[in-house]
Amino acid sequence: MINSTAKSDRNSNVWLGPVIVLLAAFSYFTIFVKVPALRDGPWLNLALLIFGLVLSCRGTRQTFTRESGILKKMGAALGFLFSFGLTGLFSSYIFFMSYGLPETTEVTNELSKAPGFSLVRHDGANFTQSDYLGSKLVLVFYRGHW
pLDDT digits (tens, 9 = 90+) for 91-137: 888 888 777 665 655 555 555 666 778 888 888 888 888 888 778 77
Residue at 122 is within a domain: no
Q: Give mean pLDDT, residues 45-49.
A: 91
What confidence score (pLDDT) does residue 19 get? 93
**Would the pTM count as exceeding 0.85?**
no
DSSP string computed for 17-65: HHHHHHHHHHHHHHTGGGSHHHHHS-HHHHHHHHHHHHHHHHHHHHHHH
Residue at 118 is within a domain: no
Residue at 9 is within a domain: yes
Model confidence at 55, pLDDT cuts 50, 70, 90, reads: very high
Residue at 116 is within a domain: no
Burial class (CB in 10 A: 0-12, 13-18, 19+), 55: buried
Q: Give mean pLDDT, residues 139-145.
A: 63
Query: How many distinct structural domains can be found in the chain?
Result: 1
Higher pLDDT, 43 or 113: 43
Structural domain including 32 reads 4-104
Higher pLDDT, 71 or 131: 71
Residue at 37 is within a domain: yes
Residue at 135 is within a domain: no
Residue at 11 is within a domain: yes
Residue at 133 is within a domain: no
